[in-house]
Structure 1
Amino acid sequence: MGTEHEGVPLNLADIDASAWRELEAAASNPQSGFRFLNLCSVDAAARPQARMVVLRRADRSLRLLEFHTDMRSQKWLELSANPYAAVLGLSAQTQLQLRLQGTVERHAAGSTQANAAWDRLSAWTRMTYAGGPPGDEVAFDAIDGAALPKPADEAEGKPHFGLLIFRARALDWFQLRRQDNRRALLTYDETGALAAGRWVNP
């Protein structure tokens, strides 16, 4: 099963490796189809909540994805109550969909992990955490950039900056093709090793 058919590797271990290579590359390539991913959590009323997030880092050996967030956001609160989450991405260029299931670890402002991530941010990105809480009501006329209050210093955002580490336990790999779409389900053990995989009907 080490052959390929129309560019799609038939070996499940190869599929796993290629999917994580795509994710690792996306973390440093703003043009990648997987640079922006859909992070889905569950709110207090057991309703699914989805939002787009920027992939900041991926590590295939540990099966983790890193995202940044404002600690005042609803997703931070939702993930504190229920760490189970799903991540969904679709690359229009390759017609590849990746759907991952796993859990999220939160690293709050002031933690070693959050401080290290903050230090890697540009000044412009740091400023995005210095405004009001996400979701707070704002006067419509304040949408004009000139009317918005300007934070005095980018450091004002640091107390609100949180780091989310998503650890995948399963990957649903789906390749769209002109004919004969392909889909595989992969699972990982607690160490991040590929534990099992199988082909399924798309």
Structure 2
Amino acid sequence: MQKILDRIWALLTAGANAGQVRSPFTMVQIATLGLDGAPRARTVVLRQINRSQSAVTFHTDIRSEKVAELKKDPRIAVVACDLEAGLQIRLEGIATIVDRGERKDTVWNANRPRTLILYRAPLRPGTPIGSPGDAHVPPECDDAERSAGSENFCLVDIEVSKIDYLDLSPSGHVRVRFIRDSDSWQGIWVAP
């Protein structure tokens, strides 16, 4: 089971460090509880992995509904899959919003301007608009100083407490469930 756990963290790390070539584990789906109690799912980009802390991170707009949902109920689920390889990794954990401080600033400064322009948008994500152009970043934002929009940027750290790994290889399906116990992971085989 240790080899499988190592593989999980290696796949997630490759997803967060995709660079020029995206890994199947770069874009993952997250699920939260909506403010009305209904489930909500969306896709985010996996940005950082910290295996020693059993944490994964993505960033988002502080004005988004997912941030409000996580502030109300920090439980979150993540699904990552490689359809060609027949692999699925599911994570469960508790989210923490990082909206200030040195770490947030460091991550902001490490991102490409093309990524950061999203946070300069005048409207919060999900705002109804008359036409797509109404949500575009004004042209003067292209020349804005690098910190413009940083007030809308935040990290979402997920402290992972459960991992479910499913391998649907033709040679035989394998499924393992890991539960974090203090600083170690306990695994059990489960039926696929």
Residue matched to 2:109: 119
How far does residue 173 in structure 1 lie from its aligned partner after superposition?
A: 0.4
Q: Rg larger in 1 or in 2? A: 1
Q: CA deviation at 1:113?
A: 2.1
State whether structure 2 residue 177 is matched by structure 1 residue 185.
yes
CA displacement at 1:143 relative to structure 2: 6.4
Aligned position for 1:23: 12
Superposed CA deviations along residues 122-153 of structure 1, whole A, max 9, x for unmatched, are: 111111110021011222262697xx633532
Work out whether residues 113 and 163 of structure 1, in 8 Å CA contact, stay in contact via their aligned partners in 2.
Answer: no
Deviations 1:86-145 (A, max 9, x none): 00010124221000110101111x322211110111111111110021011222262697
1:1-80 matched pairs, under 5 angstroms = 12-29=1-18, 30-80=21-71
Structure 1 residue 46, shift from structure 2 partner? 1.7
Contact kept in structure 1, 2:161 and 2:179, CA below 8 Å: yes
What's 1:161 paired with? 153
Q: Following the alignment from structure 2 to structure 1, what is the Cα–Cα distance between the partners of residues 42 and 74? A: 16
Query: Any unmatched runs of 5+ in structure 1?
Result: 1-11
Taking structure 2 as the reference length, the TM-score comes to 0.90
Unpaired runs of 5+ residues, structure 2, are: none
Q: Secondary structure at the match of 1:186?
A: strand
Q: Is the 8 A contact 1:130 1:155 kept in 2?
A: no
1:171 is matched with 163
Matched AA of 1:166: I
Q: In 2, Cα distance between the equivalents of 1:144 and 1:105?
A: 28
**Shift in CA distance, 49/151, structure 1 to aligned 2, threshold 3 Å:** farther
Tell me, in whole angstroms, the C-alpha distance in 2 between the residues paired with 1:149 and 1:68. 22
What are the superposed Cα offsets for residues 127-185 of structure 1, whole Å, 9 maximum, x if unpaired? 1110021011222262697xx63353253210100110011101000001225311110
Q: How many residues are paired up?
A: 186
In 2: Cα distance, 1:165 partner to 1:121 partner = 17
Q: Could you tell me how far apart the structure 2 residues matched to 1:74 and 1:144 are?
A: 16
TM-score, normalised via structure 1 length: 0.86
Q: Report the secondary structure of 1:155's partner residue.
A: coil
Q: CA, structure 1 residues 170+127, in 2 after alignment: closer, same or farther (shift >3 Å)?
A: same
How high is the sequence identity, in percent, across the aligned residues?
27
